[in-house]
Structure 1
Amino acid sequence: MPSVIAHRGFAGINPENTVAAVRTAADRADSVEVDVVACADGTPVVFHDARLDEAEGSRGVTDGAGAVGDLSPGAVTAAEILESGETVPTLAHLVDATAVPLDVELKRPAADHVWRGSLPPGDRETARERWQPFVDRVLDELDDREIRLSSFSAGALAAVRERDPPHSRAVLCRALSTGRTLADRYDADAVHPSLAAMRNADPGAVAAVHDAGRDVNVWTVRTWVEARAAVRAGADGLIADYPGIEQWLGEESG
């Protein structure tokens, strides 16, 4: 049976990235995925979008306004998620209030754009230095919790490796070739391709990831049919919006 990672705390049925979502998902998942971004002072908060409101590509999932990277922690954590009564938590609060294993995606260390994927050699150290203060703060707040750290960003992965924590790390990618490259470069334990990337990948490429001793966990799975397709393509885990998505896999999970 594939492992199940609750995407943002099973965002299909819970207010995403909240303490309540993580607690609710804990009994129905092997681990819970959350996103972390930096406030203006560098405090890690559990949130996905660049902005609290609906602007510049953000979805407007809170009653707050402004770019998270420009706001104080107090302003961000006062924002309510989708009229649920749940507010945006700091990472420290979420860690203190829950006990389930976490898969922490490093999203943004500041308000400006973050480059995804591989970088030219000359840009890699600058990218790591830009990420390092935020990654250090995140790691300081995780303590000895069972954690996996993931990111699309080479700079974030480099910063995690520089700190060399005991936690595992994973490469998020939209192309399996990119995931393999970054996993080799930054000693990642897993590759997390999109569902589309997994469907389009050559079976030999998936086998190469497994042969290197790495798991393949696929995002974002929303139906049992997608779960079946991911497992048939070689997925070890499903990063899913809904619980119970694996129950109809039958022989596919064997």
Structure 2
Amino acid sequence: MRLIAHRGFADRHPENTLVAIERAAPDADMIELDVRRCGSDELVVIHDETVDRVTDVTGRVDELSADDLADFDVLDTGTGVPTLAEAAGAIPADTGIVIDCKEHGIATEAAAAASTVDNEVIVSLFDAPTLDGLETDDPTVELACLIGLRPDDDFDDALALDCSYIHPHWGHWLMTDAIERAHDAGMDVNVWTIDTSIAIDRLRRAGVDGVIADSPDVL
């Protein structure tokens, strides 16, 4: 079972930072990063629409430049909000990258940025039309459809888009045949977000391929 570090193991390390990447990499098969566009048009690694929660300043990410964001102190690390290119470059080549696109219109650019490194890359988001428009000829970049509040529709979208993965919430379909259906369709299943080891045996028995977790302790 693959272990994917959610935001760089957000319970253990300061989420979505270069510090988290460095500390999470030895324990993770892949590192998941939240990505959105900033005010100067670069893709940056941050979950929220604003910097309020993770810095001591306020402001919208889409109104701040990459230079501004780099100067902030994120979660007392002494480092700023990294660009996707910086974050991807900091991840060891043998550790995969999961790019969780937090807004529309960035999937193709995110895939292109990730293609500059040698890592395995998964691009994921809830929005099927955006995934449908993703353009990449890099065989190391694969698609994942996040399974949200409309699981049956999302599953059908993943099939139609020939996704390599589905990423369902741990509570979705665990007692149904969805995992078997995904495997029959050639898709692996990475479940989010796992924050306890109690669920792992159940997930393993259910045939889950990977867990997206906030701590390496779950395994």
Q: Same fold (TM over 0.5)?
A: yes
Matching residue of 1:121 = none
Q: In structure 1, which of residues 44, 59, 64 is the aligned counterpart of residue 57 of structure 2?
A: 64
Matching residue of 1:92 = 85
Q: Does 1:135 align with 2:107?
A: yes
What is the rounded CA distance, in whole Å, between the counterparts of 1:103 and 1:8 in structure 2?
A: 9
Aligned AA (1:77): A
Q: Does 1:184 align with 2:122?
A: no
State the 4+ residue runs in structure 1 displaced beyond 6 angstroms.
none
What is the rounded CA distance, in whole Å, between the counterparts of 1:176 and 1:164 in structure 2?
A: 28
Matching residue of 1:78 = 71
Between Structure 1 and Structure 2, how many residues are aligned?
213
Q: How does 1:161-172 map to 2 (within 5 A)?
A: 162-166=135-139, 167-172=141-146
Deviation of the 1:144 alpha carbon = 4.3
Q: Does 1:27 align with 2:26?
A: yes
Deviation of the 1:70 alpha carbon = 1.8
Deviation of the 1:223 alpha carbon = 0.4
Matching residue of 1:218 = 191
Q: Secondary structure at the match of 1:49?
A: coil
Equivalent pairs: percent with the same residue? Answer: 36
Aligned AA (1:21): A
What is the rounded CA distance, in whole Å, between the counterparts of 1:208 and 1:32 in structure 2?
A: 26
Aligned AA (2:158): A
Matching residue of 2:98 = 103
Matching residue of 2:11 = 12
What is the rounded CA distance, in whole Å, between the counterparts of 1:217 and 1:157 in structure 2?
A: 18
What is the rounded CA distance, in whole Å, between the counterparts of 1:230 and 1:179 in structure 2?
A: 20
Aligned AA (2:49): A
What is the rounded CA distance, in whole Å, between the counterparts of 1:38 and 1:80 in structure 2?
A: 19
**Structure 2, unaligned runs of 5 or more:** none
Matching residue of 1:114 = none
What is the rounded CA distance, in whole Å, between the counterparts of 1:28 and 1:63 in structure 2?
A: 30
1:181-224 CA-partner distances (Å, limit 9, x unpaired)? 1211211100000011143x51x222111101111110000000
What is the rounded CA distance, in whole Å, between the counterparts of 2:202 and 2:68 in structure 1?
A: 42
What is the rounded CA distance, in whole Å, between the counterparts of 1:173 and 1:62 in structure 2?
A: 30
Q: TM-score, normalised by structure 1?
A: 0.78
Aligned AA (1:195): W
State which drifts further: 213-222 or 173-182: 173-182
Q: How does 1:110-129 map to 2 (within 5 A)?
A: none
1:12-66 CA-partner distances (Å, limit 9, x unpaired)? 100001111112111111111111100123210011111111xxxxxx1222311
